[in-house]
Amino acid sequence: MGYKVADNVTNHDAWGVGVYTFFRDYSVTVINGIQTPATNGINFVDSLAVYLNGGGGIVNIIDHDGKQVSSSQQVSWECDYHEVKKINQAKKEAEEMFLQK
């Protein structure tokens, strides 16, 4: 990841945060470009991920949300990310894990 909000942070607002990928020597795939704690009060506006060159890419811009970037999709925006989306995603993942058992 390129940007991490510490797990003990309860309020964080960010505008225009960008994470970039350029893995020249190895093909590296990063799951989340930005990672935040699962708490209310986390907000990102106009965040983006950019693939510059090399191998690999970024799968999600923020916490399993947003489109991937790679050699075929070089720029991806997450215009309005709020904690509600993250909580809903966590619920969805928990439900999917439960149904798989």
Q: Which domain holds residue 75?
A: 3-100
Query: CA angle at residue 62 from 56 to 68, to 5 degrees?
Result: 35
Give the model confidence (pLDDT) of 7-48 as tens digits. 999 999 999 999 999 999 999 999 999 999 887 788 888 899
Does residue 84 surpass a pLDDT of 60?
no
Place of tokens 């945060």: 17
- Counting the structural domains of the chain, the total is 1
Q: What is the largest CA-CA distance in the chain?
A: 40
Give the model confidence (pLDDT) of 43-82 as tens digits. 888 899 999 999 999 999 988 888 899 999 899 888 777 6
Place of tokens 């928990």: 94
DSSP, collapsed to helix, strand or coil, labels residue 88 as helix
Query: CA angle at residue 33 from 31 to 35, to 5 degrees?
Result: 90
pLDDT, position 81:
73
